[in-house]
Amino acid sequence: LQTKLPAVGTTIFTVMSTLASEKNAVNLGQGFPDFECDPKLVNAVTDAMTSGLNQYPPMAGVPVLREAISAKLHKLYGRSYNANTEITVTAGATQAIITAILAVVHPGDEVIVLEPCYDSYVPNIELAGGVVVRVPLTPGTFRPDFDKISAAISPKTRAILINSPHNPSATVWTEADMLSLQDILAPTDVLLISDEVYEHMVFDADKGQTHQSAVRFPGLAARAFIVSSFGKTYHVTGWKVGYVAAPAALTAEFRKVHQFNVFTVNTPVQYGLASYMLDARPYLELPAFYQRKRDLFRSGLAKTRFKLLPSEGSYFQCADISEVSDLGEADFCKWLTSEIGVAAIPLSAFYGDGFDQRVVRFCFAKKDETLNAAIERLAKL
């Protein structure tokens, strides 16, 4: 059999989680919470199940959930998306992203990704027959370099993928960044896929930082698939429910693929989410919730020989390992998991060429006791 994805093995998240559980390590590798979600959310889903909402929902998602998503986007970012024609409920952000790519990328079309990038983007583009154009984020700071992005756009460019707050670097794009992107794309018909799964995890509001959704920028929103994930926002990564908001013409193309790659997303979870979303507090309180965990983890790590990078958003903290070890990132993460009992993710996993800058990613979406246990082990290094 000739493989369609020669460069692809098993995802780093699965590899590291498997090793962490084999070695009984504290798992700060794969991004997922180790604490429970709000019982109210579980009750809302259970209520939907027991009241018989268990058959196929409408292809695009249950109307009450699409209405709730639309209301949230309007309230937070000021644009009205039509719940019938512009919002689709997906099986997590993963399915949203591949579906958007399959819907718009023709064989030979170029798609720009900014490296380091989430590991599904490149294989998704390749499966669509697209040509991946990699533009590096600025080494060291991971800020977007708009001269490089601009230079990467060609007549063949179909789309660009962006991700803020960013996995793995935990940087957050500013309003000026978004305006620069809007200016660059203005004379083109390049589409935007904006991966905003960590939209509710932007820290340091007192320093004026806030999530700059592409929704806020008319010149971007008009060409964008906005992607988010309830898994991140409500601590339920295993439920695999997210959504895409996009102008009607793009949504129509998106749904042509969606109806054949997933068709629908599970019904009771959608109803449960819709009623839970009526209360905005859980997502409005999320930045403070995670900022406290970030600060707890950072203050612990600051006492070790790891060098901390900024964490402006997401639930990740990157750290430079050069004072701690001579190993490369990937070997270091395996060693750290096996010998020290803490799992982390090498940043090289987010680069096509495995670029190794001696930086690893920790996930702090964990109970305080888990974070403290990890710090105790890391402090030995």
Residues that bind ligand GLN (CB under 6 A): 11, 13, 30-31, 167
Which residues, numbered 181-210, are part of the site for ligand PMP (CB under 6 A)? 195, 197
The answer to the question of residue 332 lying near ligand PMP (CB under 6 A) is: no
CA distance 92 to 94: 5
Q: Where are the alpha helices (DSSP H) in 137-279?
A: 146-152, 175-185, 218-221, 230-233, 248-261, 267-276
CA distance 263 to 27: 34
Q: Which residue is nearest to ligand PMP (CB)?
A: 92
Residue 169 binding: pick among ligand GLN, ligand PMP, none (C-beta 5-8 Å cut-off by kind): none
Closest CB to ligand PMP among residues 239, 271: 239
The answer to the question of residue 94 lying near ligand PMP (CB under 6 A) is: yes
Closest CB to ligand PMP among residues 120, 372: 120
Q: Which of 157, 163, 164, 337 binds ligand PMP (CB under 6 A)?
A: 163
The answer to the question of residue 309 lying near ligand PMP (CB under 6 A) is: no
Q: Which of 27, 124, 164, 167 binds ligand PMP (CB under 6 A)?
A: 167
Q: Which of 48, 102, 112, 118 binds ligand PMP (CB under 6 A)?
A: 118
Min CB(265)–ligand PMP separation in Å: 11
Count of residues in contact with ligand PMP, rule CB under 6 A: 14
The answer to the question of residue 316 lying near ligand PMP (CB under 6 A) is: no
Per-residue tokens: 16: 């590291």
Amino acid letter, 266: N
Q: Where are the alpha helices (DSSP H) in the chain?
A: 12-23, 39-50, 63-77, 92-104, 121-127, 146-152, 175-185, 218-221, 230-233, 248-261, 267-276, 281-284, 286-301, 329-335, 368-378
Residue 166: partners with Cβ closer than 8 Å, 6 or more residues away: 137, 142, 172, 173, 198, 313, 314
- Residue whose token pair is 């998704």: 124
Min CB(216)–ligand GLN separation in Å: 24
Closest CB to ligand GLN among residues 30, 266: 30
Min CB(302)–ligand PMP separation in Å: 25
Closest CB to ligand PMP among residues 324, 360: 360
CA distance readout (Å), 43 to 66, 183, 249, 340: 20, 46, 36, 39
Cα torsion at 352, 358, 361, 367 (round to 10°)?
160
Closest CB to ligand PMP among residues 33, 57: 33
Closest CB to ligand GLN among residues 123, 328: 123
**Cα distance between the two ends of the chain:** 46
Closest CB to ligand PMP among residues 124, 324: 124
Min CB(326)–ligand GLN separation in Å: 26
The answer to the question of residue 116 lying near ligand PMP (CB under 6 A) is: no
- Helix or strand holding residue 112 (H, E): strand 110-115
Query: 19 and 25 in contact (C-beta within 8 Å)?
Result: yes
CA distance 172 to 98: 23
Per-residue tokens: 76: 């937070």
Which residues, numbered 226-255, are part of the site for ligand PMP (CB under 6 A)? 229, 231, 237, 240, 242
The answer to the question of residue 165 lying near ligand PMP (CB under 6 A) is: no
Min CB(229)–ligand GLN separation in Å: 9
Residue 351: partners with Cβ closer than 8 Å, 6 or more residues away: 115, 116
Q: Which residues of 311-358 form beta strands (DSSP E)?
A: 316-320, 342-343, 345-346
Min CB(374)–ligand PMP separation in Å: 20
CA distance 67 to 87: 9
Min CB(119)–ligand GLN separation in Å: 7
Residue 293 binding: pick among ligand PMP, ligand GLN, none (C-beta 5-8 Å cut-off by kind): none
